[in-house]
Structure 1
Amino acid sequence: MECEKEVGNATYIILISGVSKGLGRALALEFAKLGHIIVGCSRNQTQLDSLQAHLSTISSLNHVFLNLDVCSNEGVKEMAQTVLQKVGCPHIIVNNAGVINESMKMWKCCVKEFDNVIDTNIKGTANMLRHFIPLMISNNNQGIIVNMSSIYGRTPGPMVSAYCSSKWAIEGLTKSIAKEVPNGITIVALDPGIINTDMLASHIGPLASAYQTSQEWATKAASMILNISSADNGASLTVDDPGILPIIKG
């Protein structure tokens, strides 16, 4: 980015999908504390209102939140124009919106649940890329895109085949697009590590409480994201101290 050498002083417009809870919310709060403008989307208006209220206590900037399902291509298209009109082109995009399937063997996972994971995690990310990359190109080829991956995007895991499939797809999608975007735009896949979130608890139950909190994680992740450079284009990155999952048997 043009302001790449001024990370400590520049104010960035940072777009986060799935912003209303978990890692998205934690990142929004951390970036806001650092003085950046947050743009976010989520399907849960109540949680968006809660985040907006929280941010108003720590930041006076004009943050923008939209009730949106990233699975809707038309919805994301409209959001891109709304964001452009209200605050301008995002400098950083974090494609964080994602869901996980209930822990079970693939052939026992119902079609609707499997499709929901694929639609949200892959197609939702694709919708964001489809409509925001052209804005970054128009903005003098500037921008950083972070596609949230997972340990399950690089290592196969039992009982979460839909989620695992979606995150392996994110890794491939990211590396392919890295070869397509013009110089100045950087796209990476980021394994956030293992964090105590509702999603993790749905997979490993009470064991989730042994891991770092989302806010502890966000302090490290925000700093890492702000320091991504063009040299990282196409990379598979991992936030420091990712943790180790317990052995899950099929």
Structure 2
Amino acid sequence: MSKLVVITGVTRGLGRAMVDRFHEEGWTVAGCGRSEKEVQGLRKQFGGQHYFSVVDVSVIEQVEKWAEEVKARVGVPDVVINNASIINRNNPVIHLAPSEFSRVMDINVNGVFYVIRSFLPSMVERANGGVVVNISSYWGRNGEASLSPYCASKFAIEGLTQSLAAELPEGMAAVALDPGGSIDTSMLQSCSPEDVDTAPNPVEWSRVAVPYIIGLGPQDNGKSLTCPPVRNN
């Protein structure tokens, strides 16, 4: 039987690349994103092989409805990857708009909590293991000037993951996963454009990251991990 992975933020960047890799590995993907156009494109490309939905993870009602639909139509996930996130425009703390800080936290932290809260009970009830992967960042372990909302959100993910790991039953795992350096995404282009030319693209990254994620298990519970580096041939 095909395994099921739930991935948030599948319409671009790392999430979009992971869809292709999990598809190649024979997994079923239940993914969500905010772009109706991009979600429709995924549905058209993959037909009924996977299940894609338009969801804003910062809205708990949307997340809860999506989770119920996923469980009813494709089952209980084996792996949940909380990937959806945004970054603030580079700005010192004293010049940040409160609304921008709140929006970053709403998606990057509250959204992760909502997804865990909506999917985890069924994974625990199934009593057949399961892994929650919360995408963190180098900036979730080290602060950076002008990126305080994003850094704060990823530091929060590290703490949330450690607390969750302490609550899980034996045989399950929660990990915080740094993608492993700069990846050429729209996020990097926004906050650190000088690094784009030397950064691997999401497809290259996903060829390393997805096998690594598939290999995670109870032995990794509570760890702050970093994806292996993408090596250019």
TM-score by length of 1: 0.89
Equivalence for 2:148: 161
1:184 to 163, 166, 171: 171
Superposed displacement of residue 209, structure 1: 2.8
Equivalence for 1:248: none
User: Is 1:101 aligned with 2:88?
Assistant: yes
User: Is 1:232 aligned with 2:223?
Assistant: no
Superposed displacement of residue 141, structure 1: 4.7
Equivalence for 1:113: 100
Please give the secondary structure, in 2, of the residue aligned with 1:40.
Answer: strand
Equivalence for 2:131: 144
Equivalence for 2:199: 211
2:41 to 35, 38, 50: 50
Equivalence for 1:246: none
- Structure 1 residues not aligned, in runs of 5+: 1-9, 244-250
Superposed displacement of residue 204, structure 1: 1.3
Superposed displacement of residue 14, structure 1: 0.6
Please give the secondary structure, in 2, of the residue aligned with 1:212.
Answer: coil
Task: Using the aligned pairs only, state the percent identity.
Answer: 37
Equivalence for 2:112: 125
Name the Cα RMSD after superposition. 1.4
Tell whether the 8 Å contact from 1:12 to 1:36 is kept in structure 2 after alignment: yes
1:39 to 30, 38, 59: 30
Superposed displacement of residue 80, structure 1: 1.2
Tell whether the 8 Å contact from 2:2 to 2:26 is kept in structure 1 after alignment: yes
- Structure 2 residues not aligned, in runs of 5+: none
User: Is 1:85 aligned with 2:72?
Assistant: yes
Give the counterpart letter for 1:48 in structure 2. V
Please give the secondary structure, in 2, of the residue aligned with 1:234.
Answer: coil
Equivalence for 2:160: 173
Please give the secondary structure, in 1, of the residue aligned with 2:142.
Answer: coil
Tell whether the 8 Å contact from 2:140 to 2:155 is kept in structure 1 after alignment: yes
Superposed displacement of residue 76, structure 1: 1.1
Give the counterpart letter for 2:229 in structure 1. D
TM-score by length of 2: 0.95
Please give the secondary structure, in 1, of the residue aligned with 2:192.
Answer: helix
Superposed displacement of residue 206, structure 1: 4.8
Q: Deviations over 1:184-237 (max 9, x none)?
A: 221100000220000000011253132001000001110000000101000011
Superposed displacement of residue 113, structure 1: 0.9
